Copies of this chain bind each other. A is one copy, B any other.
Amino acid sequence: MADSSWPGCAKSLKGVILDLCGVLYDSGEGDGVAIPGSIEAVKRLKESDLQLRFCTNETQATREKFVAKLQRLGFDISVCEVFPPAPAAISVLKERGLRPHLLVHDGLLQEFEAVEKTNPNCVIIADAAENFSYQNLNEAFRVLIGLEKPILFSLGQGRYYKETDGLKLDVGVYMKALEYACDLKAEVIGKPSPTFFQSVLSDMGLKPHEALMIGDDLVNDVGGAQCCGMKGVQVRTGKYRPSDERHPTVIADATVDNLAHAVEVILSQRGLEA
């Protein structure tokens, strides 16, 4: 069933990029829970002629562990299809000869195991959850304030996300905290950084207008994708709030109830309805 608010671009699409948390599943205790209909929706996309990638600001675990969790939840997904910020950050560190002080989730440390970290000349923060203690934030601050030219990388800039037991503060909040403390501007690696979206498009070999991003974060998923020339669709799951539909600057190309609905409309418009 076609939705009248849907932009009639589905026929010219060649690829779809999905956010993970809030679109495929809600994080929380244990592995979290799959959002109803999303396992089947991913399966339908995979069976279609569309390319599919997953673009996430997830940084609480290594890519391998994170993908294993999604597989346990029932999703047909493999490591090479998933683009999180940490591997992108490691490339940047290498290019610029930087040694990071890390303020990240314990689960992400392994990803940085091979990275030189002694005598740090930059700070990397990611969604560290409980590790965002006063002491740890103060330690990151002292590293930055002690550098002649402080460099702060933030893996994403989200305000908050939704877990099964409620909203949780995300890394962007602590990025703003350190920016103010040290009077600097962080470099964001992850969504909505255009270089990050571009790396996913390159992997698919697609131009921006050939791809569609579906996410629950209006600014970072939808707005970020639109800034790159892609279409951006918001789902009413995860961190979605009704006020998103009255946002002063970011207007989604469509807002749909959930991923299952989005996929149904896309495939139906392409004449591939199951």
What residues make up the interface of A, taking CB atoms closer than 8 Å to B?
128-135, 137-138, 141-142, 145, 159-160, 166-169, 172-174, 176-183
Q: Which of A131, A132, A182 has the most CB of B within 10 A?
A: A132
Give CA–CA (A168, B129) in the complex, Å: 20
Beta-carbon contact of A172 and B180 below 8 Å = yes
Give CA–CA (A24, B179) in the complex, Å: 29
Contacts of A169 in B (CB 8 A): 134, 137-138, 141, 177, 181
Contacts of A172 in B (CB 8 A): 180-181
CB-nearest residue of chain B to A160: B181
CB-nearest residue of chain B to A176: B180
Give CA–CA (A172, B182) in the complex, Å: 12
Give CA–CA (A167, B137) in the complex, Å: 12
Q: Which of A138, A142, A166, A178 has the most CB of B within 10 A?
A: A138
Beta-carbon contact of B181 and A173 below 8 Å = yes
CB-nearest residue of chain B to A159: B181
Contacts of A177 in B (CB 8 A): 169, 173-174, 176-177
CB-nearest residue of chain B to A172: B180
| Shortest Cβ gap from A233 to chain B (Å) | 22
Give CA–CA (A173, B144) in the complex, Å: 14
A-B contact pairs, 17 of them (CB 8 A): A128-B134, A130-B133, A131-B134, A132-B134, A133-B133, A134-B169, A137-B173, A141-B173, A142-B166, A159-B180, A169-B177, A172-B181, A173-B178, A173-B181, A176-B176, A176-B177, A176-B180
